Amino acid sequence: MYRGLAFTLAAIAALCVLVTPTPASPQGKGPGQGKGKDAGHQADMELFHFLLDHRKDITRTVKNLPDGIETVTESTDPKVVEKLQAHVASMYKRIEEKRPIHARDPLFAEVFRNAGKLKMKVENTKAGVKVVETSEDAYAVKLIQAHAEVVNLFIKNGREEMPKNHPVPPKK
């Protein structure tokens, strides 16, 4: 009985160590933080989790263009609208600055590797945000369109989609 209790307590202690946040160093990276965990990472993840938790309040249309996509993502909930707009603005900045997020997923990592080839036009609407994302590079267009499909999966499946790896489209 004591051995089982000791094992349980050791497992709980190990879990606490794994999930306890560590303070960031002056460079914005704390112990255990790898690539992609910059100063804005936590805020971006909180936005993302909020949107996943409120995905049933979100509508999204995706129109494939010859050189990319046009998306309209909206909600009737003002708080969701605010978070949608903040999330898109933050991701736009990450693309501009080539600061990856969710880089353990092959598709997201590849999108950020090709960030310099992407052009984004973001327009806030009364109910959300309209994004036109394009590229002159045929492979980057495939990445843009694949990413749009994965965002649709996040809205459809919620948090269960997060740990999945999403395939990178072929270059040819």
- Per residue in 63-105, pLDDT (tens digit) is 999 999 999 999 999 999 999 999 999 999 999 999 999 999 9
Residue 108 has pLDDT above 80, yes or no: yes
pLDDT for 39: 80
Q: Does 119 map to a domain?
A: yes
Nearest CA to 156 out of 16, 81, 52 is that of 52
Query: Is 101 part of a structural domain of the chain?
Result: yes
Which pLDDT score, from 0 to 100, does residue 6 have? 40
Span 32-61, average pLDDT: 85
Asked if residue 21 is part of any domain, the answer here is no
Three-state SS at 86: helix
Where in the sequence is the domain holding 150, given as residue range(s)? 38-159
pTM here?
0.77
Where are any strands of DSSP class E within the chain?
Answer: 58-65, 68-75, 119-125, 128-134
Helix or strand run (H / E) with residue 150: helix 138-157
Distance CA 74, CA 87 (A): 12
* Residue 165 domain flag: no
Gap between the terminal Cα atoms of the chain:
61
Q: Indicate the number of domains in the chain.
A: 1
Residue 70 near residue 132 (C-beta atoms within 8 A): yes
pLDDT tens string 130-144:
999 999 999 999 999
In a domain, 87, yes or no: yes
Q: How far apart are CA 50 and CA 143, in angstroms?
A: 25
Residue 23 belongs to a domain: no
Within-domain flag for 68: yes
In a domain, residue 88? The reply is: yes
